[in-house]
Structure 1
Amino acid sequence: MKITVITVGKIKEKYLKDAIAEYSKRLGRYCRLEIIEVADEKTPDQASEAAEESIRAKEGERIMKHIREDMYVITLEIAGKMLSSEELADKINALGLSGKSSIAFVIGGSIGLAREVMARSDFALSFSKMTFPHQLMRVILLEQVYRSYRIINGEPYHK
């Protein structure tokens, strides 16, 4: 299985880079992982809805360039469906068993995802009703994908 994480923005903080590197290494025994960073747009304070829509559209165009036809696309959205770790593991496992060999997880920028990206999504996933920094979401997502593979393989994982 190939897991692609398409994300807006770069990681600047060393502690987040270290965590991402650790989970990327751990995932190497279960899947092929690719992390694609697309450039983010600067969002001015007190930006109008039209300005935010324009920013999301520009970031969305960059994201869409990396989404292939054969990918099963899971967007991370506050309004998405919340799953337990076991349910996410079941979803990843079921996709593999049904012949899907490529899953793309998409993390938007600080003001969310473009309509075009959400329309292409096969599944909207929510980790919480709370808002998290998109840089931190990359770590949380990789940890949950790693946990999913541990569950799928019947290996122990921290509860």
Structure 2
Amino acid sequence: MLVKIISVGKLKEKYLKQGIEEYAKRLSRYTKFEVIEVKDEPTKENASEAEDELVKNAEGERILAKVKDDDYVYLLAINGKMMSSPELAKHMQQQMTQGKSTLVFIIGGSLGTSDAVYKRANQEISFGKMTLPHQLMRLVLTEQIYRSFRIQNNEPYHK
């Protein structure tokens, strides 16, 4: 089993890197885990809608280049399905039971993701209506993946 996070842009803040590294270490007893960063496109302050689409498409191509045909893809999207931690754990478990050996979580760029990435996604999920910085979202997502494995294994974890 492999769980991957594919995210646009480089993680810069040391404290976020340390948090992700800690959860990655904890996850190693349950699964292989990796974070893949794809290059973000420079964006203009007052870009047109067409220019924004070009940015999303370029980033989307980089994301999709890291996704295999048989991967199960979760796309983080503000209008996606909101799940509780136990619901996410159950959903992930179902995919593994159905033979999916790789679960991929995608965090798009600051403008969102391309239509092609939306079309490739098997499930759109949301962590709420609030906008979080993409770099912080990586840490939150990593913690939730770890929490999902704890739940799946009936192991205690603070509620």
Aligned pair count reads: 159
Q: Are positions 1:21 and 2:21 aligned together?
A: yes
Distance 1:45 1:158 in 2: 42
Letter paired with 1:2? L
Distance in 1 separating the partners of 2:65 and 2:122:
17
SS in structure 2 at match of 1:70? coil
Structure 1 unmatched runs, 5+:
none
The answer for the alignment partner of 2:137 in structure 1 is 137
Q: 1:52 aligns to what?
A: 52
Q: Name the structure 2 match of 1:100.
A: 100
Q: RMSD value over aligned CA atoms? A: 0.7
Structure 1 runs of 4+ with >2 Å offset: none
* SS of corresponding position for 2:22: helix
After superposition, the C-alpha distances for 1:113-157 in whole angstroms (9 at most, x for unaligned) are 111001000000001111111111100100000000000000011
Partner residue in 1 for 2:149? 149
Q: Show the counterpart of 1:117.
A: 117
Q: Runs of 5+ in structure 2 lacking a partner?
A: none
C-alpha separation between the residues in 2 aligned to 1:48 and 1:29? 47
Q: Distance in 1 between matches of 2:90 and 2:145?
A: 11
User: Deviations 1:84-125 (Å, cap 9, x if unpaired)?
Assistant: 000000001111111111111000011111110010000000
Q: Identity over the aligned pairs, expressed in percent?
A: 53
Matches of residues 65-104 of structure 1 in structure 2 within 5 Å?
A: 65-104=65-104
- The amino acid of 2:109's aligned partner reads G
Alpha-carbon distance between aligned partners in 1 of 2:125 and 2:7, rounded to the nearest angstrom: 15
